[in-house]
């Protein structure tokens, strides 16, 4: 018989951002342009209808934008023109779909 080596890790939780309750598939990481070192942006939609986009800068959380509360956000997807970065944010609430740029402007 052989001996099995087991590694044990000490994991701890770090809260980066606090948002309301969320649905599955309501958080995405926005892509960075190739070849550019930038902070990674994260978009989260919650049941209060608030879309929050934030990034990490030197271990600090920086909120890029936050929308006003509205209907419950059920899903968040990224999109854009074919062949380009998928950096437009689309959220669905019931039968309504709204789109936002990575800067927070609704289109």
**Per-residue model confidence as pLDDT tens digits over 44-97:** 999 999 999 999 888 788 999 999 999 999 999 999 888 888 989 999 998 999
Q: 1-10, 15-24, 89-98 — which one is most confidently predicted on average?
A: 89-98
> What's the CA angle centered on 27, arms 23 and 32, to 5 degrees?
170
Which of residues 71 and 9 earns the better pLDDT score?
71
Q: Is the pLDDT of residue 1 over 80?
A: no
Q: How many angstroms separate the CA atoms of 10 and 3, rounded? A: 23
pLDDT at 17: 84
Q: Is the pLDDT of residue 28 over 70?
A: yes
**Count of C-beta atoms within a 10 Å radius of residue 84:** 9
């Amino acid at each position: 018989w052989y001996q099995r080596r087991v590694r044990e890790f000490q994991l701890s939780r770090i809260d980066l951002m606090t948002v309301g309750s969320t649905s599955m598939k309501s958080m995405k990481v926005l892509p960075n342009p190739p070849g550019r070192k930038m902070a990674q942006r994260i978009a989260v939609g919650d049941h209060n209808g608030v879309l929050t986009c934030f990034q990490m800068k030197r271990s600090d959380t920086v909120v890029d934008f936050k929308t006003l509360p509205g209907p419950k956000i059920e899903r968040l997807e990224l999109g854009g023109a074919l062949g380009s970065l998928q950096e437009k944010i689309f959220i669905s609430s019931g039968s309504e779909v709204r789109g936002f740029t990575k800067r927070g402007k609704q289109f």
